[in-house]
Amino acid sequence: MNYPNGKKVKTQHATNKNSPQDRFSNRGMTLEKDINETNKYYLSRGLCVIHKKPTPVQIVKVDYPKRSAAVIKEAYFKQASTTDYNGLYKGRYIDFEAKETKNKTSFPLSNFHQHQIEHMEDIVRHEGICFVIIRFQVYNESYIFPAVKLFPYWHRQFKDGRKSIPYSAVKDEGTLIPAGYPALVDYLTIVDEIFF
């Protein structure tokens, strides 16, 4: 897989699930699975329409070892992705990113890219609902952290500021999302508190 600038991205084939490389490649997938299940539940109840955005990919080379099996040998990301999820809730546009960390004391800002921050700033400027769901795996805690609270941390890091958001700041400035069933990450209850 290649980015638009031609940079190669390593793909994994049959890797050992216990290898550090495999564990690193699957980080964030638990939170995304939980959010996807929550979104299915919300949709089935008619509460909102929020979906995970697909990453646009341009397939360049495909091998056909058998008629019934095609193997993608080369592909490029068409463009940089923005945030993970978007949709509508109570007549308003909603857009958010989901991030997970194993870190106990802080959330590294390196989990974000400049284009994602710019996208979120555009959403806020147009009065959309925009936030990040941050999960601290070691505590099994997920927080809604509004985008407007993320921006100062992001910009401060380029002026000799710290390169992470302290766990204590996420707890103080964010809001803990209740975990339950069938809404595994019941973020709409917090969206109601913060944005409505």
- Residue 188 within a domain: yes
Q: Is residue 2 part of a domain?
A: no
- Give every residue of the chain whose pLDDT is below 50, as ranges: 1-2, 5, 7, 9-28
**Contact at 8 Å (CB) between 171 and 113?**
no
Cα angle: 83, vertex 148, 163; to 5 degrees? 75
Answer whether 50's CB lies under 8 Å from 39's CB. yes
| Structural domain includes residue 124 | yes
Look at residue 65 in the predicted model and tell me its pLDDT: 79
* pTM flag (> 0.85): no
Q: Is 12 labeled as ligand-binding?
A: no
Q: Are 150 and 116 in contact (CB under 8 A)?
A: no
In a domain, 13, yes or no: no
In a domain, 70, yes or no: no
| Res 18: pLDDT | 45
Domain membership of residue 95 (yes or no) is yes
Query: Binding residue per annotation — 84?
Result: yes
82 is in an annotated binding site: yes
pLDDT of residue 66: 77
116 is in an annotated binding site: yes
Residue 72 lies inside a defined structural domain of this protein: no
Q: In this predicted structure, what is the pLDDT of residue 10?
A: 46
Split into its structural domains, the chain has a count of 1
Dist CA 177 CA 133 (whole Å): 9
150 in a domain, yes or no? yes
Q: How high is the pLDDT of residue 21?
A: 38
**CATH number of the CATH domain containing 105:** 3.40.1350.10
**Domain range enclosing 184:** 29-55+81-195
